[in-house]
Amino acid sequence: MSDQFDTLPLGDEPASPMEENAPVPAFYPPRPPPTAPIMMADDGNDVKFEVTVSDPTKSGSGYQAFVSYKVTCVTNLRQYSSPSVTASRRYNHFVWLHTQLSEQYPCYFIPVLPDKQGIAPVFNRFQEEFVEGRRMALQQYLARIAMHPVLAQSKPLQTFFEGNEDSMRLPEEKKTGFFSGLMKDMTKTTTTVPLDPEFDAIKQSVKDLEGKLVDVHKFMDRLIKRRKDLGSSLSELGLQLMTMGTHEQQAGDAEASTTSKSFHDLGSCCDHLALSFRKQGDDENNKALMVIDEWLRIVQGAQEALRVRANAVGHHAALNADLEKKHRALTSGTQAGKHSVSESDVTEARRKVEEAKQRADLLGERVKEELGRMQRARATELRTMLCAFVSVQLKYGAQVQDSWERVLPSILQGVDPAALQV
């Protein structure tokens, strides 16, 4: 059996004095919009960490084309060579950062990256809307890392901002491709784990949360698409109304002129409302749907942490079974497999069991701490998202009412009020 897991780093060794003494914040503050710079929470230790992802730029052509982003961090962490660092980074650099953090800091809730696999990223990856959505998602990712009391001070994050290309090269097997995400999910396995009611309940709770977020995301996305469709329909209606107004004007009499003006004014109102509906859809996407998107990635990161912890528990159980087998063989004087068992074999097996148990226990405690942090952040951030969503409805609802009220006097000219009674 491989001993590789026994030396898996926990992400807290070796720690700098600043890392050891840094207090853990009780909760994350409400998240600002994804278009704004992100600053690490002020948790009393005067650590500041501001990150931005901006200026997506396409380079190359054909299959070799890619998009790079300008990433900037402003920090007072002494480990950085400069208080302000700017670099150009591609998606694969983010993959490198995520891989390093996941390997060196197991069981921290590290959000998954926005997906690079599938149809949309392949065929739409250079379209403005897709690129901007990817930029915001990558900024959300860096923001989470920057707000974490341990990950913010990690060496991989510093290398991401200050390192060169050679320091962030991915092995071929870890590079992303069209089918790599699917194959990774198909080949991902979890070691058989003994019954564990506490963590089974946690796992089910996280799974239930993911399901609810997926449902909210589905219907909110549908609402935004229909609102933008409504904007397009209003724009087309406005054009036809103004065309009708031009036709009426050709009659030449006073009544026709009044009717023509009414059509033109209403058409202009529809065109204005079309723009308003498109802007409302954009605001709903940025202030609500993107938040749900991010939380789905956070939940998937939590599920990955639970899987790693479950593997640690299963590994301990396997080692313990191996110890019992060797102990029985030593006691009875028989062989364990093809080889005889000595006292030193049992001692070494017992050492591995103890180390594996310590690691599983430590990872379990980390998962519970991260779960508590996630729950506090969720309570704050999802309520903030709901408030932002309602504010968007009030803002644009008032604009819609104002637009209809302003055009009404033009339409009412020459209309008998009695005819308007319903």
Neighbours of 380 (CB within 10 A): 15
Could you tell me if 123 and 186 are in contact, meaning their C-beta atoms sit under 8 angstroms apart? no
What does pTM read for this prediction? 0.81
Could you tell me if 314 and 193 are in contact, meaning their C-beta atoms sit under 8 angstroms apart? yes
3-state SS assignment for residue 87: strand
Residue 49 CA to residue 43 CA, distance in Å, equals 12
What is the residue type of 273?
Answer: L
Instruction: Please give the chain's pLDDT, 422 residues, in tens.
Output: 444 434 445 555 444 433 444 443 433 344 444 444 333 343 445 778 899 999 999 888 777 888 999 999 999 999 999 999 999 999 999 999 999 999 999 999 999 998 765 445 555 677 888 889 999 999 999 999 999 999 999 999 999 999 988 888 877 656 655 444 444 544 455 556 677 899 999 999 999 999 999 999 999 999 999 999 999 999 999 999 999 999 988 876 777 888 899 999 999 999 999 999 999 999 999 999 999 999 999 999 999 999 999 999 999 999 999 999 888 888 887 766 667 888 898 999 999 999 999 999 999 999 999 999 999 999 999 999 999 999 999 999 999 999 999 999 888 877 766 666 65
Angle at 361 (CA atoms; ends 360, 362), nearest 5 degrees: 90
Contacts of 83 (CB under 8 A, 6+ apart): 74, 75, 76
93, 96, 98, 99: CA torsion to nearest 10:
170
Residue 191 CA to residue 189 CA, distance in Å, equals 7
Residue 29 CA to residue 291 CA, distance in Å, equals 14
Q: Strands, E, within 230-371: which ranges?
A: 335-336, 339-340
Measured CA to CA in angstroms, residue 419 lies from 263, 410, 414 at distances of 19, 16, 11
Quote the tokens at residue 336.
């364990």
Measured CA to CA in angstroms, residue 241 lies from 118, 232, 248, 399 at distances of 42, 14, 10, 21
Query: Which uninterrupted H or E stretch holds 30?
Result: none
- Measured in whole angstroms, the distance separating CA 100 from the mean position of its chain's CA atoms is 18
Tokens 């954009």 sit on residue:
282
Residue 48 CA to residue 42 CA, distance in Å, equals 7
Neighbours of 102 (CB within 10 A): 19
Quote the tokens at residue 110.
């590290």
Measured CA to CA in angstroms, residue 357 lies from 37, 201, 229 at distances of 42, 21, 57
The distance between the two most distant Cα atoms of the chain, rounded to a whole number of Å, is 116
- CA-nearest of 351, 223, 191 to 288 is 223
- Measured in whole angstroms, the distance separating CA 260 from the mean position of its chain's CA atoms is 51
Residue 110's Cβ-count burial label (10 Å; 0-12, 13-18, 19+) is: buried
